[in-house]
């Protein structure tokens, strides 16, 4: 067991972990941040996406010890300071971009990373970027639409509702 320290959603966090403990498990089991979900064991589904030092990372593909000293942000830290939904979260609700909610934290975190690098992505760019985030409920239509809306683009031409 080894000591690991990092900053998570702006607060200092630490714990004793095994060498094999994944960041996803550390967040969920040690810190109780269960919004980061684990949907696969081959790094395809993206339900566990968090940001580490500002970059989108699949928390199932990184050891907790690798995040030593890092700034980590998770879905629990995304809402506005007053607790209201941020622009991306609000767009997902407004456009029904989620159903069961299991992939949603990863989708929101990936979207934030996408829009940071590409503030007005095209439909094709969004679909390509989401290659590492699988959703089984929505058929992606409303996720893509929500991301376009979150980036200030007109979604009026996309089929209603």
Partner 1 sequence: MPKDGGIGASSKRREDVRFLTGAGNYTDDINIRGQAHVFFLRSDVAHGTLNNVDTSEAEGMPGVVRIFTGADFEAVGSIPCGWQVTDRHGDPMQEPRHPVLAHGKVRHVGEPIAAVVAETLGQARDAAEAIVVEIDELPAVIDMKEAVKDGAPKVHDDLTSNLCYDWGFVEENKDAVNKAFDDAAHVTTLELVNNRLVANPMEPRVAVGDYSRSDDQHTLYTTSQNPHVIRLLMGAFVLGIPEHKLRVVAPDVGGGFGTKIFHYQEEAFCTFAAKACNRPVKWTSSRSEAFISDAHGRDHVTKIELALDGDNNFTAIRTDTYANMGAYLSTFAPSVPTWLHGTLMAGNYKTPLIYVNVKAVFTNTVPVDAYRGAGRPEATYQLERLVDKAAHELGVDPMELRRQNFITEFPYATPVAVEYDTGDYNATLDKLIEISDKAGFEARRKESEAKGKLRGFGMNCYIEACGIAPSNLVGQLGARAGLYESATVRVNATGGLVVMTGSHSHGQGHETTFSQVVAEMIGIDESMVDIVHGDTAKVPMGMGTYGSRSIAVGGSAMVRATEKIIAKAKKIASHLLEASESDIELKDGAFSVAGTDKSVAWGDVTLAAYVPHNYPLEDIEPGLEETAFYDPSNFTYPSGAYACEVELDPDTGHVTIERFAAADDFGNVINPMIVTGQVHGGLAQGIGQALMENCAYDSDGQLLSASYMDYAMPRASDLPFYSVDHSCQTPCTHNPLGVKGCGEAGAIGSPPAVVNAVLDAMRSGGKDVGHIDMPVTPARVWAAMHGAEANAARVGAVGSNAKPQPE
> What is the nearest approach in angstroms of partner 1 to the Cβ of residue 145?
8
The stretch near partner 1 (CB under 8 A) out of 51-59, 64-72, 113-121, 137-145 is: 137-145
Closest listed residue to residue 88, CA positions, set 147, 17, 132: 147
Closest listed residue to residue 17, CA positions, set 66, 77, 72, 76: 66
- Which of 8, 67, 105, 149 is in the footprint of partner 1 by CB under 8 A? 105
Strands 49-52 and 71-73: antiparallel
Is residue 110 a contact point for partner 1 (CB under 8 A)? no
Other Cβ atoms closer than 10 A to 57: 22
> What is the nearest approach in angstroms of partner 1 to the Cβ of residue 69?
23
Closest listed residue to residue 48, CA positions, set 71, 22, 70: 22
Instruction: Read off the DSSP letter of residue 138.
Output: S
- Share of the chain residues as helix, strand and coil, in percent rounded to the nearest 5: 35, 15, 50
Contact 39, 47 (CB under 8 A): yes
In the region spanning residues 40 to 99, those forming contacts with partner 1, defined by CB under 8 A, are 40-42, 44-45, 47, 74-76, 78-79, 85, 89, 92-94, 96, 98-99
The smaller minimum CB distance to partner 1, of residues 69 and 160, is found at 160
Is residue 135 a contact point for partner 1 (CB under 8 A)? yes
> What is the nearest approach in angstroms of partner 1 to the Cβ of residue 8?
12
The residue written with tokens 């980036």 in the block is 151
> What is the nearest approach in angstroms of partner 1 to the Cβ of residue 121?
12
Could you list the residues that contact partner 1 (CB under 8 A)? Answer: 18, 20, 28-29, 33-42, 44-45, 47, 74-76, 78-79, 85, 89, 92-94, 96, 98-105, 108, 123-124, 126-128, 130-131, 133-145, 158-161
């Amino acid at each position: 067991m080894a000591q690991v320290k990092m900053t998570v959603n702006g607060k200092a966090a630490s714990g004793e972990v095994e060498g094999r403990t994944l960041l996803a498990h550390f967040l969920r089991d040690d810190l109780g941040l269960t919004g980061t979900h684990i949907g696969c064991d081959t790094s395809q589904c993206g339900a566990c996406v968090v940001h580490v030092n500002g970059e989108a990372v699949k928390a199932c593909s990184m050891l907790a010890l690798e995040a030593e000293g890092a700034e980590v942000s998770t879905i629990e830290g995304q809402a506005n300071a007053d607790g209201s939904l941020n622009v991306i979260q609000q767009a997902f609700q407004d456009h029904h971009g989620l159903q069961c909610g299991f992939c949603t934290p990863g989708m929101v975190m990936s979207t934030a990373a996408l829009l940071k690098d590409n503030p007005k992505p095209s439909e094709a760019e969004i679909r390509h970027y989401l290659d590492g985030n699988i959703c089984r409920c929505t058929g992606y239509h409303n996720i893509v639409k929500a991301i376009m809306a979150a980036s200030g683009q007109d979604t009026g031409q996309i089929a209603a509702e």
